[in-house]
Structure 1
Amino acid sequence: MSQHDPNQPQWGSQQPGQQPQWGQPGYQAPPQPPKKHTVRNVFIGIGGVFVALIVVGVAVGGGSDKKSDTAKDAPAVSTSKPAVEKADETPAAKPKAKPAEKKKGDVVTFKVWGNAPAGALGPIQTTYGSDSENIEGKGVPMTKTLKVSKDAMYYSVTAQLQGSGDIHCSVSVGGKTKTAHAQGGYNICSAQLSGGLLGGWS
């Protein structure tokens, strides 16, 4: 057996000025280094990226809305050219008013035409007018007009041959016409229109 050297330190003994070793009285374990939270750091990083994307999206979207609002609020600019009135253009001349046409029925027309040679008693004898007046006509052909009277009961024309001839006669008033015919000898051509109670002629 070897002898113990009193100058050598024994296991478990504490030298002056040294920290106590494991197994010695007063020994304290060294502090553990803090654990690294790897998973938490990953989630924090991902969250930060999402927040950044949202902020960028809001900024971009807000800018586009402002542009659209500005475009809507801007007044519309017309590109069409304003109509230019011609200074030299003169107003169109108004058509002249036509003279008032005479209403049918304002006048009565008498006619006698054909072949009526003069005889022993002279030329053809013609009369025309109404129940209140008779006017003598001359020769053939003959056309005469009179104003229509409200009080007239009828209008007529007569023409008598003087030994020979062939004649026609007519009277027209209010759009109505009556005609007659006479031939040879001393025959008479007579046409007449009568006024009705309602103002018509027949």
Structure 2
Amino acid sequence: MSQQQNPPQQPGWGGPQRPFGQPPFVSPPPKKGGAGKVIGLGCLGIVGLFVLIALVGAVVGGGSGAGDSKSPTTRADDKKAGRSAAEGDKKVGGEAKVDKKVVVFKVWGTAPAGALGPLNITYGSDSDNRDGTFKDGEFKATLPLDDDALYFDVTAQLQGSGDIHCSVTVGGKTDKGHAAGDYNICSAQLSAGLLGGWG
């Protein structure tokens, strides 16, 4: 009868020994970093950021369509009253010269006086609001252009009835609004560009 021999002990090991003839235990290789996933998600995040910026710019700047009154052209109501869309313009040699350092706010139309007067008019910028007075069917005011302003706007609320138009003009760009009847509000607003600035 032959006796089974125990495998020789490995020096320096105090724990359990591996059976003789078996390869030593090899730990699994470390997991590879998800560098490709991280780079892919990073690129997707950058593209998403640009899309978000474009959407915010479109919302803040407002869109323009065929029926929109966002263009600085003269409307039929303005022609009847002999007004240009941007009254801050000065005629020089038959052509309008735009004063880019002035913001022009206008409200015009019919607004019978209610309990609080014919209209409640507010105009200015994101940091400076003022009240306006409607006389003889119109209101007009100018303010110096503040390059740090985020927007300039004018609002006029009817006091029960009427039909009014309003506009704000900055550097040759005009935004217009309209309101009719009840206590409706005419509103026009121009915003600074996506990166700021008005020119």
TM-score by length of 2: 0.48
TM-score by length of 1: 0.47
Which structure has the larger Rg? 1
